Amino acid sequence: MANTWGYGAMTNSLGDIQNTKAIIIFGANPAVNHPVGFQHFLKAKERNNAKIIVIDPRMTKTAAKADLYAQIRPGTDIPFMYGMLHIIFKNGWHDQKFMDARVYGMDEIKEEAKKWNPEKVADVTGVPADKLIQITRLYAKSTPGTLVWAMGLTQHSIGSSNTRLAPILQLALGNLGVEGGGCNILRGHDNVQGATDMCCLSHTLPGYYGLSKGSWGYFAKSWGVDYEWLKGRFKSEEMMGEKGFTLARWYAGVLAGKPGEDKIKNAGTNLKALVVLGNGITAIAQQAKVKEALDNLELIVLADPFLNEGAILTDKQNDVFVLPAATQFETSGSVTATNRAAQWRNKVIDPLYESKTDHDIIFELAKRLGFYDELTKGMLLKDDPKTAKPVKVKDEFQWPEDATDEIARTIKTIGLTGWTAERLKKHSENWHMFDEVSGRGHGPMKGEYYGLPWPCWTTEHSGSPILYNINRSVAEGGMGFRNRFGLEREGVNLLAEKGSAPKGSANKDGYPEINAENIEEVLGITLTAKEKSLIGKNWKVDTSGIIAQKCMEQGMAPYGNAKARAIVWTFPDRIPLHREPLHSPRQDLTKDYPAYEDKPNHYRVDTQYISKQTEKDWSKEFPINLVTGRLVNMNGAGVETRASKYLAKLTPEMFCDINPGLAANHGIRDGAMMWVHSPEGTKIKVKAKYSHSVSEDRVFLPYHFAGYFQGEDRTGNFPQGTKPYASGESANTVTNYGYDIVTQIPETKGGLCRIEKA
> Pick from 11, 12, 19, 60: which binds ligand MGD (CB under 6 A)?
60
* Per CB under 6 A, 475 contacts ligand MGD: no
Whether the bond into 144 is cis, omega within 30 of 0:
yes
> Which range, of 131-139, 207-215, 626-634, 654-662, touches ligand MGD by CB under 6 A?
626-634
Partner whose footprint covers residue 325, from ligand MGD, Mo ion, none (CB < 5 to 8 Å by kind):
ligand MGD
Please pick, from the candidates 30, 126, 188, 206, the single residue that binds Mo ion as defined by CB under 5 A.
188
Beta bridge partners of 698: 625
Residue 277 phi/psi, 5-degree rounding, is: -120, 100
Interface with ligand MGD, residue 126, by CB under 6 A? no
Residues paired with 300 in a beta bridge: 274, 320
- 686-725 footprint of ligand MGD as x/- string (CB under 6 A): -----------------x----------------------
456 binds, among Mo ion, ligand MGD, none (CB under 5 to 8 A by kind): none
For residue 75, what is the DSSP state? T
Instruction: Point out which span in 105-113, 341-349, 636-644, 736-744 binds ligand MGD (CB under 6 A).
Output: 636-644
B/e letters for 224-260, b = 16+ CB within 10 Å, e = fewer, are bbebeebeeeeeeeebbebeebbbbbbbbbbbbeeee
303 in contact with ligand MGD (CB under 6 A): yes
Q: Is 280 in the site for Mo ion (CB under 5 A)?
A: no
Task: Return the HEC string of 621-640.
Answer: HCCEEEEEECCCCCCCCCHH
- Any contact of residue 358 with ligand MGD (CB under 6 A)? yes
Judged by beta carbon, residue 26 or residue 511, the one nearer ligand MGD is 26
Q: Which range, of 12-20, 29-37, 479-487, 525-533, touches ligand MGD by CB under 6 A?
A: 29-37
Q: Which of 159, 148, 167 is nearest to 339 (CA)?
A: 148
Closest alpha carbon to 96 in 112, 83, 107, 111: 107
Residue 179 CA to residue 107 CA, distance in Å, equals 26
**Is residue 2 part of the contact set for ligand MGD (CB under 6 A)?**
no
Does residue 637 bind ligand MGD (CB under 6 A)?
yes
DSSP codes, 681-726: S-EEEEEEEE-TTS-TTEEEEE----EEETTEE-GGGSPTT---S-
Name the residue nearer to Mo ion (CB basis): 4 or 619. 4
Beta carbon of residue 170, minimum distance to ligand MGD (angstroms, whole number): 16
242 binds, among Mo ion, ligand MGD, none (CB under 5 to 8 A by kind): none
> Of 360, 437, 364, whose CA–CA distance to 400 is shortest?
360
The pair phi, psi for residue 660, each rounded to 5°, is -55, -35
Interface segment toward Mo ion; rule CB under 5 A; list 5-13, 40-48, 80-88, 241-249? 5-13
Nearest CB to ligand MGD, comparing residues 558 and 750: 750
Q: CB of residue 147 vs ligand MGD: minimum separation in angstroms?
A: 12
- State the minimum distance, in angstroms, from the CB of residue 25 to ligand MGD: 8
Q: State whether residue 476 is helix, strand or coil.
A: helix
Smallest distance from ligand MGD to CB 257, Å:
26
Judged by CB under 6 A, which stretch of 72-80, 311-319, 438-446, 674-682 contacts ligand MGD?
A: 72-80
Q: Which residues pair with 627 in a beta bridge?
A: 700
Is 278 a residue that touches Mo ion (CB under 5 A)? no
207 binds ligand MGD (CB under 6 A): no
Neighbours of 624 (CB within 10 A): 22
CA 560 to each of CA 347, 495, 515, 538, 539: distance values in angstroms, whole numbers, following the listed order: 40, 8, 10, 12, 10
Beta strand residue intervals within 179-298, DSSP E: 183-185, 273-277
Cα distance from N-terminal residue to C-terminal residue, the chain: 37
**Which residues of the shown chain bind ligand MGD in the complex (CB under 6 A)?**
3, 5, 26-29, 32-34, 55-58, 60, 72, 74-75, 77, 150-152, 155, 186, 188-189, 277-280, 283, 303-306, 308, 325, 327-328, 358, 627-630, 632, 634-637, 639-640, 703, 731-732, 735, 748-750
